[in-house]
Structure 1
Amino acid sequence: MTEILPAAPLVNASRFRAAHEGDWDRLERIITRMEKRSVGALDDEDILALPLLYRTTLSSLSVVRETSLDRALATYLERLCTRAYFQLYGVQTSPWRQLGAFFATGWPRAARSLWRETVFCIALMVAGTLAGYFLVHSDPAWFYALIPEDLAGGRTPTASAESLRNTLYDTGGEGALAAFATALYTHNSQVAIFAFALGFAFAVPTLLLVIYNGLSLGAMIAVFADKGLGVNFAGWLTIHGTTELLAVALAAAAGTRIGSAVAFPGREARSEAAVTAGREAATVMAGAVCMLLVAGILEGIGRQTVVSDALRFGIGGAALAGWLAYLYLPRRTGAA
Structure 2
Amino acid sequence: MTVAANTIAEDDAIRSTRFRKEREDGWKRLDTLVTTAEKRGVQGMSYEDTLALASLYRQAMNSLSVARAISMDRALLRYLEALCARAYLVVYAPQESVTGVLGRLFTHGIPQAARRSGTALFIGFLAMMLGAFTGYMLYLQDPAWFFTFVPGGLADGRTPSASTEYLRRTLFDTSTRSSEALGLFASYLFSHNTQVAILTFALGIFVTLPSFILTYYNGLILGAFFAMFAQAGLGYELLGWLSIHGVTELSAICVACAGGAQMGLAVLLPGNRTRRAALRDRGRDAVKLMILAGLMLIVAAFVEGFLRQLVQSTELRLVIGWGLGLMWLAWLLLSGRDGPRS
TM-score of Structure 1 vs Structure 2, range by shorter chain: 0.7 to 0.9
Equivalent position of 1:73 in the other structure: none
**Aligned-residue offset at 1:161:** 1.1
List runs of 5+ in structure 2 lacking aligned partners.
1-36, 40-75
**Aligned-residue offset at 1:51:** 7.4
- In structure 2, relative to structure 1, the CA distance for the partners of 1:46 and 1:162 (3 Å cut) is farther
Q: Which residue type is aligned with residue 297 of structure 1?
A: F
Equivalent position of 1:10 in the other structure: none
Q: Deviations over 1:65-90 (max 9, x none)?
A: xxxxxxxxxxxxxxxxxxx9878622
- Counterparts of residues 267-282 of structure 1 (less than 5 Å): 267-282=272-287
Equivalent position of 1:49 in the other structure: 81
List runs of 5+ in structure 1 lacking aligned partners.
1-37, 55-83
- In structure 2, relative to structure 1, the CA distance for the partners of 1:155 and 1:85 (3 Å cut) is farther
Pair member with larger Rg:
2
2:105 equivalent to 1:96: no
Q: Which residue type is aligned with residue 175 of structure 1?
A: E
CA distance in 2, matches of 1:303, 1:47: 63
CA distance in 1, matches of 2:313, 2:77: 68
Q: Deviations over 1:130-154 (max 9, x none)?
A: 1101111221110111111122111
Equivalent position of 1:142 in the other structure: 145
CA distance in 2, matches of 1:165, 1:46: 77
**Aligned-residue offset at 1:124:** 2.3
Equivalent position of 2:13 in the other structure: none
Q: Which residue type is aligned with residue 292 of structure 1?
A: L
- In structure 2, relative to structure 1, the CA distance for the partners of 1:190 and 1:85 (3 Å cut) is farther
Q: How many residues align?
A: 267
Sequence identity, in percent?
43
Retained in 1: the 8 A contact 2:252–2:294?
yes
TM-score (norm 2): 0.72
- Counterparts of residues 170-181 of structure 1 (less than 5 Å): 170-171=173-174, 172-181=177-186
Equivalent position of 2:114 in the other structure: 111
**Aligned-residue offset at 1:91:** 1.2
2:168 maps to which of 165, 169, 172? 165
2:194 equivalent to 1:189: yes
- In structure 2, relative to structure 1, the CA distance for the partners of 1:334 and 1:206 (3 Å cut) is closer
Q: Which residue type is aligned with residue 271 of structure 1?
A: R
CA distance in 1, matches of 2:80, 2:213: 57
CA distance in 1, matches of 2:200, 2:215: 7
Equivalent position of 2:25 in the other structure: none
CA distance in 1, matches of 2:119, 2:340: 28
**Aligned-residue offset at 1:284:** 1.3
CA distance in 2, matches of 1:281, 1:273: 12
CA distance in 1, matches of 2:290, 2:78: 38
CA distance in 1, matches of 2:88, 2:161: 67
SS state at 1:277 partner: helix
- In structure 2, relative to structure 1, the CA distance for the partners of 1:47 and 1:272 (3 Å cut) is farther
SS state at 2:160 partner: coil
Retained in 1: the 8 A contact 2:127–2:213?
no
SS state at 2:299 partner: helix
2:220 equivalent to 1:201: no
**Aligned-residue offset at 1:179:** 0.7
Q: Deviations over 1:203-253 (max 9, x none)?
A: 110011111111110011111111111111110000001111111111111
2:291 equivalent to 1:286: yes
CA distance in 1, matches of 2:78, 2:116: 42
